Structure 1
């Protein structure tokens, strides 16, 4: 039986590696083309939004300290994360984010909170002109906030109240609870508004959804879409490198030009 040479095994390895990786390389290429040919601001829906207006400098507001004092009278406030001036249906509103007495005291004593650890963050809205507390957004108020975000708001088709979302949901990793306000146009647009924060969070439309699908194929994170460090992506990256190297080796062992150079070197 004739023994098969190393060219055969290198060629076969290169062929099967190429077959395994070919489909994923196609996805990466298609995704790269889509990413490069689309304006990221349009993907985010910025062209659908109304230009943001600033508050007048003549506003007559109470001090945020009034709101903090009311919070302290209501319950324990260990520390303040942020105080932001926002607008809710034309009303200047303080958005106070703070840590209450139910946080991990050992962690607090150690000097802070873990990055991204937001389960103990509380939010209080207050009228910036009076200091009176404002309740989380109702459905009607959320629709108003969503419409004020749109450059040309069309008829509202559906409103949903979200308390949890899956890892593939288009509103993943955003503040909950939230209102999802869907419009008939353009591009099946949905505006997401945080009920507790009282603010617009995201706008999703068909162009973003196509981008998100290619993003999932690009990262190969089929569980949550956004993890660049997943094992599957690492494995395919290594396989891709092996495929390229096997192609170089195959060229080296099978090229007539290389063989001629090798013969000349051997004669010398």
Structure 2
């Protein structure tokens, strides 16, 4: 029986040993790295609101509901130039200046560049900026179209700005990309990295549990031998 147990334990170790090692290494990386750092919270700084006086405001919320009775999600943004009111008409998101009520045009690459530098907490030039009609694999497809801004720093920091709302929605950098890669290996979802109930993970977990139980079973003869050896020594 012990011979068969050792054989099964050996084959299971060969079969799933690599994945167990991957679990250990990926788990160590995820535990030892600060999640706030991975999320890029150190990469941004708060924007200072523009100081306004009532005489500067020529267009307010009341005018918005008068001109756009279907408007929803109305919000004021004082960190942009010019300050603006943003709302959803059901068909599109509109930004109007609170100075004169004019509808603001879509942001250009130059506008996004200035906005990215305003958010960026470090000092680095922009390496690449582009408007993407399809979201890259490192962000959800629901965010497209989206502006992608990549900085020329050691971690290849990338900011993603919503094309309509102009909001910074996602931050990515190389340490996050390593985290994401290891996460996919950890949960054995090598494509989307979201499904923690893959058949691969379920099967490997069951085999690992079975291997661990066999290993515990193999300890019994050693413990039994050690116990009797100790008992014999005490008698002498």
From 23, 37, 44, give the equivalent of 1:28: 23
1:245 pairs with 2:221: no
Q: CA deviation at 1:54?
A: 4.4
Contact 1:89 1:144 in 2 (8 A): no
Gaps of 5+ in 1: 1-5, 101-121, 262-268
| Structure with the largest fraction of helix | 2
Query: How do residues 175-190 of structure 1 correspond to structure 2 at under 5 angstroms?
Result: 175-190=143-158
| Aligned mates of 1:97, 1:250 — CA distance in 2 | 66
Distance 1:131 1:224 in 2: 43
Find the residue that maps to 1:134 and give its secondary structure: coil
* 1:26–1:52 CA distance, 2 compared to 1 (3 A): farther
Deviations 1:82-141 (A, max 9, x none): 3333356433222324545xxxxxxxxxxxxxxxxxxxxx42222244443223322221
Equivalent in 197, 210, 219 of residue 229 of structure 1:
197
Residues 194-237 of structure 1 show CA distances to partners (whole Å, capped at 9, x for unaligned) of: 11121112222222221121121122111101222222222222
Output the TM-score relative to the length of structure 1: 0.72
Distance between the aligned counterparts of 2:163 and 2:108, measured in 1? 7
Q: Secondary structure at the match of 2:194?
A: coil
Q: How far apart are 1:190 and its partner, in Å? A: 1.5
Change (3 A) 1:69 1:138: farther
- Supply the RMSD in Å over aligned alpha carbons: 2.8
Say if 2:49 and 2:79, in contact at 8 Å, map to a contact too: no
- Give the Cα separation in 2 of the matches to 1:141 and 1:51: 18
Provide the TM-score with structure 2 as the length reference: 0.81
The answer for the alignment partner of 2:35 in structure 1 is 40
CA distance in 1, matches of 2:162, 2:109: 11
Q: Per the alignment, do residues 95 and 20 of structure 1 end up closer, same or farther by CA in structure 2, a change over 3 Å counting?
A: farther
Please give the secondary structure, in 2, of the residue aligned with 1:133: coil
